[in-house]
Structure 1
Amino acid sequence: MREKVSVFVCVCVLMFGSMCWGTFLVEKNNLKVTSPESVKGVYECAIGNFGVPQYGGTMVGSIFYPKSNQKGCKPFKDSDVSWKNKPGGIPVFLLADRGECYFTLKAWNAQNAGVAAILVADDRVEPLITMDTPEDGDTQPDYLQNISIPSALISKGLGDRIKEVLSKGELVSINLDWREALPHPDERVEYEFWTNSNDECGPKCESQLNFLINFKGAAQILERKGYTEFTPHYITWYCPEAFIMSQQCKSQCINYGRYCAPDPEQDFSRGYDGKDVVVQNLRQACFFKVAKESGKPWQWWDYVTDFSIRCPMKDKKYNKECADRVIKSLGYDVRKIDQCIGNVEADADNPVLKAEQEAQIGKGPRGDVTILPTLVINNRQYRGKLDKAAILKAICSGFEETTEPAICLSRDMETNECLHNNGGCWQDDSANITACRDTFRGRVCHCPVVQGVKFVGDGYTHCEASGPLRCGISNGGCWKEKRHGRTYTACTDDNISGCSCPQGFRGDGVRDCEDVDECKEELACQCPNCKCKNTWGSYECSCKNHLLYIHEHDTCISKEGGVSEVSWGIMWVVILGLCLAGVVAYALYKYRLRGYMDSEIRAIMAQYMPLDNQGEVPNHLPQGTV
């Protein structure tokens, strides 16, 4: 009997030590009662650690409190669900009392009854607590991973007030708000995944493995493009000094009781031991460290998923040899991983695991990590089921609004609000373009980008194409018309925005461009003998007396080569002017050229013979010269 007690104490300390002495923070969201006036106000409620909380969004509904099965521990009969959600109706939130059965069973029965969310009223006056799933030791129901509605625990006082109002036949309208449940300060989300390499813990381990496999692609996209900074963590416990030499601690711990994990089968005799789990946790942590140093931290997802598939405990492959094969297949040096792991038998601290234990302790707004698995997003613990869509929704809510990456705006995250009246946003039916966009936060009215063309405006009443390619989409929102084989448009690629009627038209350029009559407004064909005819968008000029019209000069000439009488005077003036200018230019040229030539000749001759105006130079010869 004493041995059984000591074993229990050891297991309890190993598994729940940090729970007993740490600080567990309850994650909350807001509940706003909008009517009636007697209950109107904003209240806190605790987010349940199951189902799908609508992180980043809101949910509006009305409360229903059943007359029977008020604790929700039994399936609701058809006769009890007259309040079931109907298409186009206001969503219904079920109010259930705490007690008698698991919180998860209440949520499952409520979901099957067709409600949009469940609120559980506490049955005692106390601070709010986190509604969690059944412990691993209990029988894990199959429905846990199928709960998809959000859940919240409200205080006894609020629950009593809501019940009182409902008993009077009044409608209680509520807005559940998760927009501030997680911080969203900037364009990058930092998140941690607290996990364990043990794969023999039943449905919870299977759920974790499925999540790793399903979420890997999204996680790697976010990490490789720099949208997120991800860090995996591993929970370990220490063995109390009084039990270090016990068989239980030796089989569950490394480094003399400093780092421990529960035995996978909790029998301390067969299969793998807790120390095997700790070593594999350490190996995964070291792989992440080496991968991050090589600039590829996202390959941690490849390692943990490949290891779980290739090296499961049930196949007796949960060992170093199998792990090394996985490491090598990913192109990493096993020796670097081994160097990081170090000596697990040494009576000394392991730097990696010591840092992990220190990270478990809550700092600031984040409490101690005591639940496995747990996600911490922007230093707040996530609450809800481990599901790809739910986790992605939570991570996306951590981005500053309008900075979310495309994966957050994918169809998997749509709220389908744009299907009804286009969400109240702007749309262009002719080009099938809309400013309504479904997001995980709900619909937003934001002018779109279509085929590289950006639309600008308020998104509600107006969006206008902008940029050099805008005329290719719905003609840039400008006027365009075709008549008699000619097409005119008020959109030009030279202008990146706005509409301007083309030459020959006037108007706003958006709704209409009106033809200008150049003939009536004396804008064309002003020469004598000219005749003007207005056309759509232009005009035509012709000449009287069978003359030929020259458009460039706005004049008429004879078809035989002559010109009209009016033109003769102008032409003779031009010809005489040209002749006179030629004569003057020639005279100047001859005069200047003759003067220049004379001066050059005189200079040359002066070098060889005296000129007329120079005296004779005497010839003085030296003596003895003949």
Structure 2
Amino acid sequence: MMTKLFLGFILLSCFYHQSAMGRFVVEKNSLTVSSPESIKGNHDSAIGNFGIPQYGGSMAGTVSYPKENRKGCREFDEFGIAFKAKPGTLPTFVLLDRGDCFFALKVWNAQNAGASAVLVADDLDEPLITMDTPEEDSASSKYIENITIPSALISKSFGEKLKKSISDGDMVNVNLDWRESVPHPDDRVEYELWTNSNDECGIKCDMLMDFVKNFKGAAQILEKGGYTLFTPHYITWYCPQAFTISKQCKSQCINHGRYCAPDPEQDFSQGYEGKDVVIENLRQLCVFKVANETKKPWVWWDYVTDFQIRCPMKEKKYNKDCADGVINSLGLDLKKIERCMGDPNADSDNPLLKEEQDAQIGKGSRGDVTILPTLVVNNRQYRGKLEKGAVLKAICAGFEETTEPAACLSDDVETNECLENYGGCWHDKIANVTACKDTFRGRVCECPLVDGVQFKGDGYTSCEASGPGRCKINNGGCWHETRDGHSYSACLDSGNGKCACPVGFKGDGVKSCEDIDECKEKKACQCPECSCKDTWGSYECTCSGDLLYIRDHDTCISKRAVQGKSAWTAVWIILLVLGSIAGGAYLVYKYRLRTYMDSEIRAIMAQYMPLDNQSEVPNHVSENRA
């Protein structure tokens, strides 16, 4: 318990030291009342930090203020209230009061009752604030990620005006406008994502990883086409001077307390440490820098998604060796990245991380970055759900009108990452097979199915053919070789994916199989008269003098005996064949002769007397007379 309290004190101290003079900017959109006349005009509203704001567009609706459950903390079904607009009417914007429960829960309950948008009236006379998501817990996570309608906070005074007009029986029509929420000065959008390599920080980490994976394809197409300029960023803190030599700071920080991150498990006694996260964050920054120097900044998206898949904390793979494997698979210069990272134990500033800390401080219209994740589009902080479609809409709203790329006009974003270096996935040049698959969200590395043969493996470093027919494809990954017209393979379809050297060879069956010298190992030609000669994959035995080697019996016998025996055998075979032919011919002759004589005798006798079995033979004499 004391450890967690100390960690909390450090983080609060670091945060205060760095951002005491900082400011949080509330992103607003315009709310216009078109009727009634008494409150007609423009008003400010603060965009909620959840749901899906309609960036680049607007939405008109009619405001409804429920008679019961006005704070929206309970389901409206309990009160028999529904906000679903009837066909041909404007959508319903539900007005709710602030207090008693989370902002997100209010919006969730209104959405389930059919609302198209939610306006929350403040209960304090104060400047507008951003409605944020609640602290992460299993209950709230079930509805936060499923909120799809926009929401906004309005001032207490404006909320009172809306309520009075509705109670007076007026139809209150309003228009929410997000078209100016993102500046759009030219035909290129600049945006940045403040992210983190830690994958064990709860619900927000899971949402962030899903977003990066799903948005990668769109991000790379926009970047390759020159439509956007993307920059990743990472938040770090630093320890107060009084605590830099403490055990806690040493485990959470690098460069003598200058750059820190919270312990992933919030437990100093086990698992990964905060400094592990800082080092990986620094590595990802250097991946972007090196990729950018080679004019391929979009490779950062490949590295981050692959690292999440291949090097998760849960599997204890969140380390340098795994990261190096991902870097090599993407064709990046590992040495350049290591030089960029510098020495984490040095008692000096790291230039790259120092720039990151400076960039956290807000400039111009952008406020300080204090939460993870944070998306900034054209120097304006994005509000809403971190989801591919919603973020793409916000980015596209940042283009000058009529300059939007095709990706903004269609939901389908085509990618073709497999054409270059097989997307960093496994491939077999000999069999011309790769694990790279191109999808709308970018390439994925999955072992393929080729001609009915399924490959199995991680898709990045290995894929092996398995099951029946696997030997047809590159010999199932097993050893094979051909010499002097003789071919041997260590692959067997019935081998359950294993490789075994064939008879006459020894080895692992995968990389090599060496010929066995049967002559030296005394496995052949054991008879006294035998002479052994080893051949590739087999052997040859010969006998001295006039002797002939019989392989089945591993013995030598006289050639003359064999020849004599063979000659008499041939003679007897010829005589038997000739005798059989003669006997067969005689039997055929006797049969045909007897058949002919019987037919002649019957014909003669039929002229003089009818036979019992030939009653239907015609009377030739009578027929002639007629």
Alignment partners' CA distance in 2, 1:372 and 1:345: 26
> Kindly tell me: are residues 168 and 18 of structure 1, through their superposed partners in 2, closer, same or farther at Cα, counting changes over 3 Å?
farther
Name the amino acid aligned to 2:256. Y
Alignment partners' CA distance in 2, 1:290 and 1:7: 34
What is the CA distance between 1:135 and its match in structure 2? 2.7
1:282 aligns with 2:279: no
What is the CA distance between 1:81 and its match in structure 2? 2.9
Alignment partners' CA distance in 2, 1:3 and 1:217: 42
What is the CA distance between 1:78 and its match in structure 2? 6.8
Tell which deviates more after alignment, 86-95 or 337-346.
Answer: 86-95
> Equivalent residue for 2:163?
163
1:457-606 correspondence to structure 2 within 5 Å: none
Alignment partners' CA distance in 2, 1:109 and 1:412: 32
> Equivalent residue for 2:346?
346
Equivalent pair of 2:82/2:114 in contact (CA under 8 Å): no
What is the CA distance between 1:390 and its match in structure 2? 0.3
What is the CA distance between 1:370 and its match in structure 2? 1.1
> Kindly tell me: are residues 111 and 221 of structure 1, through their superposed partners in 2, closer, same or farther at Cα, counting changes over 3 Å?
same
Name the amino acid aligned to 2:296. K
> Equivalent residue for 1:104?
104
> Equivalent residue for 2:39?
39
Alignment partners' CA distance in 1, 2:222 and 2:344: 34
Equivalent pair of 1:310/1:322 in contact (CA under 8 Å): yes
Q: Deviations over 1:264-304 (max 9, x none)?
A: 11112211111100000000000000000001000000000
> Equivalent residue for 1:621?
none
> Equivalent residue for 2:502?
none
Equivalent pair of 1:107/1:118 in contact (CA under 8 Å): yes
Alignment partners' CA distance in 1, 2:95 and 2:325: 53
Q: Deviations over 1:422-451 (max 9, x none)?
A: xxxxxxxxxxxxxxxxxxxxxxxxxxxxxx
1:272 aligns with 2:272: yes
> Equivalent residue for 2:307?
307
Q: Deviations over 1:399-427 (max 9, x none)?
A: 001110011111469xxxxxxxxxxxxxx
1:83 aligns with 2:87: no
What is the CA distance between 1:224 and its match in structure 2? 0.2
Alignment partners' CA distance in 2, 1:83 and 1:258: 53
> Equivalent residue for 2:65?
65
1:329 aligns with 2:297: no
Alignment partners' CA distance in 2, 1:92 and 1:3: 50
Equivalent pair of 1:47/1:151 in contact (CA under 8 Å): yes
Equivalent pair of 2:62/2:93 in contact (CA under 8 Å): yes
Equivalent pair of 2:19/2:361 in contact (CA under 8 Å): no
Unaligned runs of 5+ in 1: 414-626
Alignment partners' CA distance in 2, 1:10 and 1:387: 32
Q: Deviations over 1:602-622 (max 9, x none)?
A: xxxxxxxxxxxxxxxxxxxxx
> Kindly tell me: are residues 105 and 287 of structure 1, through their superposed partners in 2, closer, same or farther at Cα, counting changes over 3 Å?
same
Any idea what SS the aligned residue of 2:302 has? helix
What is the CA distance between 1:177 and its match in structure 2? 0.5
What is the CA distance between 1:8 and its match in structure 2? 2.9
Alignment partners' CA distance in 2, 1:201 and 1:106: 26
CA RMSD of aligned residues (A): 1.7
What is the CA distance between 1:333 and its match in structure 2? 1.8
> Kindly tell me: are residues 106 and 40 of structure 1, through their superposed partners in 2, closer, same or farther at Cα, counting changes over 3 Å?
same
Any idea what SS the aligned residue of 1:354 has? helix
What is the CA distance between 1:334 and its match in structure 2? 1.1
Any idea what SS the aligned residue of 1:280 has? helix
Alignment partners' CA distance in 2, 1:103 and 1:15: 25
TM-score scaled by length of structure 2: 0.64
> Equivalent residue for 1:561?
none
> Equivalent residue for 2:28?
28
1:176 aligns with 2:189: no
Alignment partners' CA distance in 2, 1:350 and 1:135: 33
Alignment partners' CA distance in 1, 2:232 and 2:351: 16
> Equivalent residue for 2:146?
146
Alignment partners' CA distance in 2, 1:57 and 1:130: 20
Name the amino acid aligned to 2:409. L
> Equivalent residue for 2:397?
397
Alignment partners' CA distance in 1, 2:171 and 2:24: 36
Name the amino acid aligned to 2:190. E
Alignment partners' CA distance in 1, 2:173 and 2:369: 35
> Kindly tell me: are residues 2 and 199 of structure 1, through their superposed partners in 2, closer, same or farther at Cα, counting changes over 3 Å?
closer
> Kindly tell me: are residues 45 and 19 of structure 1, through their superposed partners in 2, closer, same or farther at Cα, counting changes over 3 Å?
farther
> Kindly tell me: are residues 121 and 170 of structure 1, through their superposed partners in 2, closer, same or farther at Cα, counting changes over 3 Å?
same
Equivalent pair of 2:83/2:113 in contact (CA under 8 Å): no
Equivalent pair of 1:136/1:201 in contact (CA under 8 Å): no
> Equivalent residue for 1:130?
130
Equivalent pair of 1:94/1:117 in contact (CA under 8 Å): yes
Q: Deviations over 1:302-323 (max 9, x none)?
A: 0000000000000000000000
Alignment partners' CA distance in 2, 1:109 and 1:248: 43
Name the amino acid aligned to 1:83. F
TM-score scaled by length of structure 1: 0.64
Name the amino acid aligned to 1:295. K
> Equivalent residue for 1:223?
223
Any idea what SS the aligned residue of 1:288 has? helix
What is the CA distance between 1:178 and its match in structure 2? 0.5
What is the CA distance between 1:99 and its match in structure 2? 0.7
> Kindly tell me: are residues 4 and 387 of structure 1, through their superposed partners in 2, closer, same or farther at Cα, counting changes over 3 Å?
closer
Q: Deviations over 1:210-240 (max 9, x none)?
A: 1011100000000001000000000111111
Name the amino acid aligned to 1:111. Q
Any idea what SS the aligned residue of 1:403 has? coil
Alignment partners' CA distance in 2, 1:20 and 1:108: 34
Equivalent pair of 2:61/2:90 in contact (CA under 8 Å): yes
Any idea what SS the aligned residue of 2:84 has? coil
Alignment partners' CA distance in 1, 2:62 and 2:239: 50
Q: Deviations over 1:84-112 (max 9, x none)?
A: 22333210001111111111111111111
> Equivalent residue for 2:119?
119
Q: Deviations over 1:561-593 (max 9, x none)?
A: xxxxxxxxxxxxxxxxxxxxxxxxxxxxxxxxx
Name the amino acid aligned to 1:251. S
Equivalent pair of 1:15/1:262 in contact (CA under 8 Å): no
Alignment partners' CA distance in 2, 1:218 and 1:23: 32
> Equivalent residue for 2:506?
none
What is the CA distance between 1:41 and its match in structure 2? 1.0
> Equivalent residue for 1:295?
295
Name the amino acid aligned to 2:245. M
Alignment partners' CA distance in 1, 2:42 and 2:273: 50
> Equivalent residue for 1:378?
378
> Equivalent residue for 1:253?
253
Equivalent pair of 1:14/1:260 in contact (CA under 8 Å): no
Any idea what SS the aligned residue of 1:346 has? coil
What is the CA distance between 1:123 and its match in structure 2? 0.4
> Equivalent residue for 2:9?
9
> Kindly tell me: are residues 17 and 304 of structure 1, through their superposed partners in 2, closer, same or farther at Cα, counting changes over 3 Å?
farther
Equivalent pair of 1:33/1:173 in contact (CA under 8 Å): yes
Name the amino acid aligned to 1:285. L
> Kindly tell me: are residues 78 and 86 of structure 1, through their superposed partners in 2, closer, same or farther at Cα, counting changes over 3 Å?
farther
> Kindly tell me: are residues 2 and 412 of structure 1, through their superposed partners in 2, closer, same or farther at Cα, counting changes over 3 Å?
closer
Equivalent pair of 2:4/2:267 in contact (CA under 8 Å): no
Any idea what SS the aligned residue of 1:38 has? helix
Any idea what SS the aligned residue of 1:77 has? helix
> Equivalent residue for 2:602?
none
Query: Identity over aligned residues, as a percent?
Result: 66
Alignment partners' CA distance in 1, 2:173 and 2:16: 40
Q: Deviations over 1:106-128 (max 9, x none)?
A: 11111111111001100000000
Alignment partners' CA distance in 1, 2:61 and 2:95: 12
Any idea what SS the aligned residue of 2:237 has? coil
Equivalent pair of 2:4/2:266 in contact (CA under 8 Å): no
Alignment partners' CA distance in 1, 2:405 and 2:272: 42
Name the amino acid aligned to 1:341. M
